[in-house]
A and B are shown apart, each in its own frame.
Chain A
Amino acid sequence: MSHSSSATHAQQAEIFCRDESRVDWHSKALWLMREKRDRAAGSIPEWEQLRQLGSEIKLHTLTNLADLLQQFEANCQANGIQVHWARDGKEHNQIVHEILARHQVKKLVKSKSMLTEECHMNPYLEERGIEVIDTDLGERIIQLAGQPPSHIVVPAIHMKKEEVGDLFHEKIGTEAGASDPTYLTRAARQHLREQFLSADAAMTGVNMAVADKGAVVVCTNEGNADMGVNLPAVQLHSMGIDKIVPNLDSAAVLLRMLARNATGQPVTTYSSMYRGPKAGGEMHVIIVDNGRTAMLQDKILAESLKCIRCGGCLNTCPVYRRSGGHSYSYTIPGPIGIAVGGSKDDTNSIPWACTLCASCSGVCPTKVPLDKIIHHHRRLKAEAGQLPYGKANYMPLVGKLMGSQTAFNCSMSMARGALKILPGSLLKPFAGAWGKYRELPVAPKSSFEHWYKNNRSE
């Protein structure tokens, strides 16, 4: 798994960039989602008003979270839902395992949940003899391939259909060489039907948890969450504390934007609300912190918890599109991944996988100030003495040089001189990454300061 190595984002990205036609293919596929988003959002005259509401609803929620969580818990219990609290991923996994073990569950079907990825739940349960089947098609593809997701909405976006065809041939017996997406999807439908029908329990993530109803909202296009949850007796839903919304009016605002901003659809095919267990069944909701309350204690990082995981920021990110999801050290890639995973990044490089172009912030349906959060992570890394790419060595020198005008002017005039005198072939190696990919600037005769002295000063 490429993402678990300690290579920096730049190193991983450089490998991804070696196959330029693949970079173009990847970048174009994601840009297409951005274009679909633009059309869908543009068809709603009140789009910017919705974004403002989305931001304010989430801020209201985050600043009243303790009350809303307790309200949610009480209402869930009144509806016959069992509520659990987990401080971290390990506790979450233990709670899930305890529930499953009590019901002698051998097979768990799971719909998409970035939280369970974050908690590394699958390996935990598998080590304890429980088979976990990811049922979202993209998730199933990468599960069969033994890879982490490369995108939070389209987790197998990095794979070509021929690669999926080969994988399915090997793992679920499709015809050799077959790569037609409809054929492969039909085959997966048959394969996963058997899993749904033989599962002992089902699990989903949560898109929104409605406090005043004590209900969870789960959105999918494939119907895998509902196929999973509605067959076996036991259903589990894992949610971060940030998934709370006060009421259905708030959910409506977010539901209007979620799919439009993700894929350009007017709404996901299924937006399901579960407000209690099925007759004779059990429904469990596990509320997880795993670093979120800590994020709330930093005013800038806190706003990253407004995110509704539409993936729009990944699709627009020029760096993500050209480096691939597996180049980021954290489970969630792209701008939102840097925002929520920056503090957990032991490569100390993902906050720099960004040009601070701020397209992500402009696309975000809840106005998460992603570029400001990423910028803030850089500062936190610097303060913690965790700067990448040699910055700890050269930044003080640059600061000193720039702060002293004489030294700066002197060195720049030397540089200008070098640019003029030395041939490009000799200069390029010295100019490092700049000269490797670009021509060096053409040296002007003199600085503006010098020109001004000769032409304007009395």
Chain B
Amino acid sequence: MPGRNEILSALAKSALDKQPMPVIDIAPNMQDLTGQFETNLAMVAGTLHRDATLELVQEKVNSLIAEGLQVLSLVEGVTGNRTLPATPHELKDIDYAVISGELAVAENGAIWVTEQHQHRVTPFICENLLLVVAEEDLVANMHQAVTKLTLESGSCGAFIAGPSKTADIEQSLVVGAHGACSLGVYLV
């Protein structure tokens, strides 16, 4: 590749002096992580269900199904009324997806969600998203989160902070752009 070598050799002519990597040492705010998380999740338009159990999640799913909605659950111990289709495109009519989160971040309400089956699009294409996270997997900030998250070779993951949203028309916040229109978080 001529481009590659040319770019790399041009970089040798940089005018900047070498700089060392700084030490990142920021004391986390460990006070009331659940409270911090709840406040920040609300700020990003998500809803927290504290002290939840899988039974409680199942009850919610049952009531959704009773309303005639399509629910897909990827959480062990919670059963919906849909199973994984062959192609990701067939997920387009899922009303609710129930997915487990690996980490929850107190400082910004984000939840780390990894690829859990062959369709990466599930948490994004569903109309509404329910995330189930263990309270013990709550961390203070992003510095802690990145040391704990898993991101296997060949996979993907995402920090999800609330439902999808936009403010592209006159700065008016509208929840529900292209991804999920609502996010409920069950802290178990």
Q: Within the complex, are A and B direct neighbours (CB within 8 Å)?
A: yes
Residues of A participating in the B interface, judged by any CB pair closer than 8 Å: 29, 32-33, 44, 46, 49-50, 52-53, 56-57, 59-60, 62-66, 69-70, 78-80, 84-87, 91, 135-138, 141, 154-157, 159-161, 164, 181-182, 184-186, 188-189, 192-193, 196-197, 213-215, 221-224, 226-227, 229-231, 241, 246, 248-253, 255-256, 263, 265-279, 287, 289, 293-294, 296-299, 302
Given contacts A185-B174, A276-B154, contact A269 B165 (CB under 8 A): yes
**A and B contact pairs by CB, cutoff 8 A, 7 listed:** A188-B177, A226-B123, A226-B124, A226-B158, A246-B21, A270-B179, A289-B10
Does B17 count as interface, using CB distance less than 8 angstroms? yes
Chain B residues, Cβ within 8 Å of A298:
15
Given contacts A57-B22, A86-B3, A222-B164, contact A230 B120 (CB under 8 A): yes
A63 B179 Cβ-Cβ under 8 A: no
B159 A63 Cβ-Cβ under 8 A: no
Nearest-neighbour CB distance to chain B for A368, whole angstroms, equals 13
B169 A185 Cβ-Cβ under 8 A: yes
Chain A's closest residue to B157 (CB) is: A273
- Shortest beta-carbon contacts, A-B, top 4: A223-B179, A276-B154, A222-B177, A138-B168
Does B85 count as interface, using CB distance less than 8 angstroms? no
Given contacts A60-B19, A266-B108, A278-B120, contact A296 B168 (CB under 8 A): no
A156 B142 Cβ-Cβ under 8 A: no
B16 A181 Cβ-Cβ under 8 A: no
A-B contact count (CB 8 A): 272
Chain B residues, Cβ within 8 Å of A60:
19-22
B146 A271 Cβ-Cβ under 8 A: no
State A269–B109 Cα separation when bound (angstroms). 9
Nearest-neighbour CB distance to chain B for A372, whole angstroms, equals 15
B171 A59 Cβ-Cβ under 8 A: no
Chain B residues, Cβ within 8 Å of A59:
16, 19
Does B151 count as interface, using CB distance less than 8 angstroms? yes
State A87–B105 Cα separation when bound (angstroms). 39
Chain A residues, Cβ within 8 Å of B14:
62-63, 65, 293, 296-297, 302
B172 A161 Cβ-Cβ under 8 A: yes
Does B187 count as interface, using CB distance less than 8 angstroms? no
State A116–B163 Cα separation when bound (angstroms). 27
State A159–B164 Cα separation when bound (angstroms). 22
Given contacts A222-B164, A231-B89, contact A189 B177 (CB under 8 A): yes
Chain A residues, Cβ within 8 Å of B73:
none
Given contacts A49-B26, A293-B10, contact A271 B158 (CB under 8 A): yes
Nearest-neighbour CB distance to chain B for A115, whole angstroms, equals 15
Chain B residues, Cβ within 8 Å of A224:
177-178
B178 A181 Cβ-Cβ under 8 A: no
Chain B's closest residue to A194 (CB) is: B92
Chain A's closest residue to B21 (CB) is: A60
State A135–B166 Cα separation when bound (angstroms). 12
Contact partner of A197 among B21, B89, B153, B165, CB < 8 A? B89
Nearest-neighbour CB distance to chain B for A152, whole angstroms, equals 13
Nearest-neighbour CB distance to chain A for B93, whole angstroms, equals 11
Given contacts A87-B6, A91-B3, A266-B40, contact A222 B179 (CB under 8 A): yes
Chain B residues, Cβ within 8 Å of A196:
178
State A231–B124 Cα separation when bound (angstroms). 10
Contact partner of B142 among A32, A137, A255, CB < 8 A? A255
Interface 1/0 per residue, B129-155 and A, CB below 8 Å: 000000000000111011101011111
Given contacts A63-B14, A63-B18, contact A222 B124 (CB under 8 A): no
Chain A residues, Cβ within 8 Å of B162:
269
B146 A181 Cβ-Cβ under 8 A: no
Nearest-neighbour CB distance to chain A for B173, whole angstroms, equals 9
Nearest-neighbour CB distance to chain B for A256, whole angstroms, equals 5
B24 A249 Cβ-Cβ under 8 A: yes
State A196–B121 Cα separation when bound (angstroms). 11
Chain A residues, Cβ within 8 Å of B7:
69, 85, 87, 241, 287, 289, 293
Chain A's closest residue to B158 (CB) is: A272
